[in-house]
Structure 1
Amino acid sequence: MTQSKGPAIIIGYGPGVSGAVAEAFAKEGYPLALIARDTTKLDAAVTAFRASGIAARGFAADAGHATALTTALDAARDALGDAEVLVYNAALWRPGPVLATTPESFDADFQLCVTGALVAARALAPAMIAAGRGTLLFTGGGLALYPSPQAPSLSVGKAGIRALALMLAAELAPSGIRVGTVTIAGEVAAGTPFAPEKIADAFLALHRSPPDPATAEVVFRG
């Protein structure tokens, strides 16, 4: 008997990379749980997916607030069952320079870029471990490798999400959980080598590959 698939949870859903990733996993037969702050766009996306015959639910939450994110993840589990895939895409670009960045904004951006990813992993990994399968994927960026003073908090955030993903990959591989990050080393734009659907293919390839810390990062160069 074919085992039914648990949902793919997309945190920080929106047009662009996360939208293309959601479509890619939907084509693989995964129900979708979309989490974002903008309820209007969220509702529109859910309506569009359902019109295409895809099971989708939307849950409003700010990924930078742990309590709100945990509540949304609990609601997604109650509605669709234990997650089989997580894609954490939440991030915010805030211009520099470095010394113009306030501690308050720096902390808030880190909460969104990195702490929210840890909150999600802690919420979802136990059920994946119990099932002996599951995937945690994180949207990385070239700023992790080439930090810019014009994007100080995002540079630190992408370095943090990269480190978190690689540590989780090592920790969870023995439990059969695939963890990976796609480090997007370029500007995402339709009709280019960095088109969202091309990047989504890299996420899907990571998901399909066996758990291995040595291959947890894909540096996407177009």
Structure 2
Amino acid sequence: MQTVLIIGAGAGISGAVARRFGREGYKIGLVARSASALELQSNKLTAAGMAACFETADAGDLPRLQYAIERLTEQLGPIDVLIYNASVMRPASPLELSTEQLSHEFSVNLLGAFQAAQQVAPSMIKRGFGAILFTGGGLALEPYPEWTSLALGKAALRSLSLSLYKELSPKGVHVSVLAVCGIVEPGGPFDPDIIAAEYYRVATAPKGIEDREVIIQPDGTDVFYNDPDRRHAGTTLPPSHVRETVKP
């Protein structure tokens, strides 16, 4: 039985991803800050006939995150798929954001992903297969000042993912960053179950360079969703994947 480890486990994308992998027979490891929320999620998965366990950790608390991954690896066995979905979504402009706040949020938005990948990669390399998936976002492609910290984190996460892809792909381990470019909500174009299906596809399909970065941007969706009032229309370009057809 294969294993999936989800860091930043919650009710949205992570919950849908856990259910999708669980239905495919994966053992599921969950990491998040809230023990009560994790217990509820784990119990629901178990009630549905899926094997799930959890450990609490703030993704930015690197010693605690390391311990949580070690404990779940002991319970589940080697990790076959790592999904990093943790982030801090707190608005602040470049001139308002303090270095202390940026440092703290960067520990969640990037450093936790960096450490988690370093922990699981050696076993994947040894076995010659595995997948590491990071949740990216549109802010890595076109940042906005209101979301300076998150945009910096997502841009750095994108760079980390592409570097890891180049390092690990020749060794049988696929790495991908999936940029979810919209608001996740059930029934909409960014329905979590639809997104979870894409995560499963990327983790399990034959691996190619085209899947090192997956931009989830259904036709007709608002590429400027991070600036709904168009405050920055005069200083914004559409991201390159839609620049041919969309104007601010």
Q: Which amino acid aligns with 1:109?
A: E
The yes-or-no answer on 1:181 pairing with 2:177 is yes
Question: Distance in 2 between the 1:211 and 1:71 partners?
Answer: 30
Q: Which amino acid aligns with 1:130?
A: K
Q: Which amino acid aligns with 1:8?
A: V
Aligned length: 218
Question: Distance in 2 between the 1:206 and 1:114 partners?
Answer: 21
Once the two structures are superposed, the pairs formed by residues 1-222 of structure 1 within 5 Å of their partners are 4-5=1-2, 7-222=3-218
- Matched residue SS, 1:98: coil
Question: Highest Rg: 1 or 2?
Answer: 2
Q: Which amino acid aligns with 1:100?
A: E
The structure carrying a bigger helix percent of its residues is: 1
Aligned-residue CA RMSD (Å): 1.0
Q: Which amino acid aligns with 1:191?
A: G
Report Cα offsets for 1:39-80 as digits up to 9, x if no partner: 110010111111111000010001101100000000001111
- Matched residue SS, 1:29: coil
Kept after mapping to 2: 8 A contact 1:62/1:69: yes
Question: Distance in 2 between the 1:156 and 1:177 partners?
Answer: 26
Question: Distance in 2 between the 1:53 and 1:208 partners?
Answer: 21
Question: Distance in 2 between the 1:52 and 1:112 partners?
Answer: 31
Structure 2 residue runs of 5 or longer lacking an equivalent are: 219-248
- Matched residue SS, 1:46: helix
Q: Which amino acid aligns with 2:52?
A: A
Question: Distance in 2 between the 1:208 and 1:33 partners?
Answer: 18
User: Identity rate of aligned residues, in percent?
Assistant: 39
Report Cα offsets for 1:9-42 as digits up to 9, x if no partner: 0000001111111111111110000000011100
TM-score normalised by structure 1 residue count: 0.96
Structure 1 residue runs of 5 or longer lacking an equivalent are: none
Kept after mapping to 2: 8 A contact 1:176/1:211: no
Q: CA deviation at 1:213?
A: 3.8
Q: Which amino acid aligns with 1:74?
A: E
Q: Which amino acid aligns with 1:201?
A: A
Question: Distance in 1 between the 2:89 and 2:181 partners?
Answer: 15
Question: Distance in 1 between the 2:24 and 2:164 partners?
Answer: 24
